[in-house]
Amino acid sequence: MMAATRYLIIGNGVAGVSAAQEIHRHDPSGPITMIGDEGIPYYYRASLSEWIAEDNTGEMVLARTPAFYAALGIESVVDTVLSVDTEAKQVILDNEDPLGYDRLLIATGASPNVVPIEGLEETLVYRTWDDARQIKVGIASETRVLILGGGVLGLELAGALARLAMRQIAIVQLLDFVGPPLLDEPAGRWLEQRIRSDGLMLFLGDTVERIVAQTAHLQSGEALDFDLFVQSVGVKARYPEVPGLEIGKAIRIDAHGATNLPDVYAAGDCTETRVRSEDRWRPTRIWLDCARQGKVAGCSMAGIEATLTEYPFLNASILYDVRYAYIGDPNGGGGVTYLMEDDGVYRKLRVVDGNLAGALLMGNRRGMMSLYRAIGLPVAEYGDAVVRPDFAWNDLTGRNWDYDFY
Amino acid sequence: MEWDGSEFEASLKRVTEFGLDNCIGVNDCMRACPVNRLGVNQNELDSVLASGEWTERVQTFVTECVQCGDCTLACPAGVHRDHMMLMLKAMLPKIPMQWQLYYYLKGRRDQQLLISLSNVYGRLQAGPLGKHVDKADLAEKDLLFYFGCYIFSSSKAPAATLTLADRLGLDYEVLAGLRSCCGWPQYLTGKMGYGQQMLIHLETLINRVAPEVIVTGCAECYAGLVRLKKKTGASWTPLTTSEWLLQHADKLAWHKLDTPIAIHDSCHITKKLGKPDPARQLLTRISDVIEIAPSPDECVCCGYYNIHANHELNHELHLEKLAVVAEKGAEAMACECVTCWEAFALSFKQADVPLWELMVAAEQATRGGE
Ligand SMILES: Cc1cc2nc3c(=O)[nH]c(=O)nc-3n(C[C@H](O)[C@H](O)[C@H](O)COP(=O)(O)OP(=O)(O)OC[C@H]3O[C@@H](n4cnc5c(N)ncnc54)[C@H](O)[C@@H]3O)c2cc1C
Ligand code: SF4
């Protein structure tokens, strides 16, 4: 009888757990070990802001219940993987003895960038529950918060803190508009107005040059006092040392989740994938893609044929305090752009060669899921009607995604 | 017409899978849910969906979900939580007794004897309208009133609707009874296959009448018709009773009541199918309309399905609704959907607050005018 395949997963985020789920489904007898260095079960990063703002309890931040782990028979190890010895097929741990594997998944996510600033000794970042805890402990209504970085995460944090009515929230952003890469400049301006009207301070095209005690000196000459300083200036892929592993800006995986090394797979924020249509490598950055990659890698590891479909890009969530959907490629150059701006609403659709190329919907996202299905379809004949919330996408796609049962 | 029998289930699976991958965990869905008294979190639901391992809390909650769709409207990531709830209903390991009875009666067309027996009883209960219950001879007519199973209910709406049609001198056919079920009760109990069978059978009955317009006063029947039309590309138009009567409203003489009436929105017609206006326009002719904001705090759910799962929960919801109505200064409430009316009826009666059915109110407001 063949011995059961031993599966080892580094990283118990969404990519790792999605993989474990598939492995268990296709090979229930293969023992799964998951190594994570956060010391807590899989949780929702996107839910941390609600937790800071006290809309969600800690219980709600957890992504799965203990019963789920038990059902999958996952063995959890709390440790940091320093490196992988692919010859001996084992991972080298920081504290414990090496662990062997038959198939390995690297799902180690990303770590936040930190900009060195003169006079800054330590800085808070925003990625993990522990980071969120430190931010939460550090705030009170009298707190003056300074966030470096006006990208998606910085704005999300600002939005959560704004709900808690801080004394002062300031955002310093190097580019001269907020919300990249989701927003382009016009959309950024739209959101900027909203943020300013809530009384938040925005310093655009600016950066923190020096910190003296509790004062940040900006490049523009402005001096800002703060009690809490958080950096949110992007992330980079994080992974243990693996000799011979093909890496660009992140671990390169093929459409089956495999790396260039035998029996080594990768998924999630630590990877980049080939976008065939654009002939470039794209880093993985969003939850949905991490989950899909994890599932494909999990199937491949269990010996089931699975391929990552090149879906149009879809990211829907909350930016500052606005619900948005970013679908396909709304911001690329070329084509015709249709815009609709209304009180609290910003909708933009881009049509290239008569076909729907992308959409950015903020405030009113009506039709978003059916619009997602319509990427690539010809829409030239409808003119600017496509940008309106009541456009009948379901008639165009021939299926009613929004309410499949209707 | 031939349908792929697995179509609904396949679509549910697709939506569920997408939801599991795309849920970012903000839990807005479960905070928006009108019947989530247990405080269930979405991670509990997803753990069951992903592992098949049930907990008692989730089981209870799944039986209590009324499929109103509030959760889906609340999700920032575009997850169809209501469909994922339907998937959970389909996966339920222990099916409540009431449900078993319900689809034994309504879901199985092969239970001919039982259906015939219950129809005998049903005819008696439906009184003068009894002649329409599952009748064999359906005539070809342009206008079809579809009353489904609510012909048996204590609702006076079917009778009022037909009185209005007679007053307008219209020619019509009526389709009602157990055999013309829209399939919604089966979906609600997770029996997709039965639901689909019912809908297919409904189509054959409708085809015998070959109508241009089908009018129904039940939001679920209406949703069923919309779905049927979508799947079959049928040429008839489904209308709610409010939409239909509005088209003829100017031919009737209206006397306005001086009681201000609050309006209750049904989840299917208003939220899911996006038609809040016809009922309001109609009620404006009858009385002053008092709005109830579409927030979960104010627009408290009728809890219909809990008639079959959890009476106490339903009553709690209704007490909340009564409080909202009183706070708004309304002296009564009107329902467009017969199902909502049925759900609320007892609690409102106990509280001595009039609960109007829109068609019944319309019939009274246009009586003896000409
Ligand atoms: C605050 C916040 C909000 C977000 N909101 C959204 C949103 O709304 N929508 C969206 O699509 N995306 C959002 N994202 C991004 C999304 O959360 C990530 O894309 C996703 O969590 C990445 O999942 P992952 O499994 O690849 O990595 P991770 O979730 O980072 O998991 C990797 C795990 O591996 C551990 N690890 C790393 N290296 C080692 C090692 N050597 N040894 C042991 N363990 C290791 C890490 O500590 C971590 O626990 C948000 C991110 C943050 C931080
Ligand atoms: S459909 Fe309605 S009742 Fe069911 S879970 Fe969603 S919000 Fe709750």
Distance B66 CA to ligand 1 centre (A): 34
When pLDDT is averaged across residues B74-89 and rounded to a whole number, the result is 92
Domains, chain A, in order of start with CATH, read 7-110+236-301 (3.50.50.60), 124-233 (3.50.50.60), 317-397 (3.30.390.30)
Structure-model confidence comparison of residues B300 and B215, the more confident one: B215
pLDDT recorded at residue B103: 59
pTM above 0.95, yes or no: no
> Do the domains spanning B101-247 and B252-369 agree at the CATH topology level?
yes
Question: What are A5-44's pLDDT values in tens digits?
Answer: 999 999 999 999 999 999 999 999 999 999 999 999 899 9
Given this model, what pLDDT does residue A406 score?
44
Does the domain at residues B252-369 carry the CATH identifier 3.40.50.1860?
Answer: yes
- The tokens for A232 are 């949110």
- Residues of chain A with a CB closer than 8 angstroms to some CB in chain B: 18, 21, 43-44, 46-47, 50, 55-56, 59-65, 67-68, 70-72, 287-288, 291-292, 295, 314, 316-318, 323, 325, 365, 368-369, 400, 403-406
The protein residue with its alpha carbon nearest to ligand 2, atom 5, reads B65
Percent of chain B residues topping a pLDDT of 70: 90
Ligand 1 atom at minimum distance from B76 CA: 8
- Ligand 1 atom nearest the C-alpha of A48 is 1
- Domain residue spans in chain B? 5-94, 101-247, 252-369
Selected from 1.10.3470, 3.90.1530, 3.40.50, 2.60.40, the CATH number assigned to the domain covering B101-247 reads 3.40.50
**Which ligand sits closest to the CA of B35?**
2
The whole-angstrom distance between A120's CA and the closest CA on chain B is: 33
Handedness of CA B240, B241, B247, B250 (dihedral sign): negative
Tell me what pLDDT residue B316 has: 86
Orientation of helix A185-197 relative to helix A152-163, angle to 10°: 20
Pairwise CB contact (< 8 Å): B27 & A50 = yes
Confidence band for B101, pLDDT divided at 50, 70 and 90: low
Instruction: Tell me if B53 and A68 make a contact (CB, 8 A cut-off).
Output: yes
What pLDDT, in 10s, does the model give residues B209-254? Answer: 999 999 999 999 999 998 888 878 899 999 999 999 999 999 999 9
- Residue contact B46–A63, C-beta within 8 A: yes
Say yes or no to pLDDT of B88 above 70: yes
Examine the pLDDT at A388 and tell me if it is beyond 80: yes
Pocket test for ligand 1, best of A83, A96, A287 (most atoms within 8 A of CB): A287
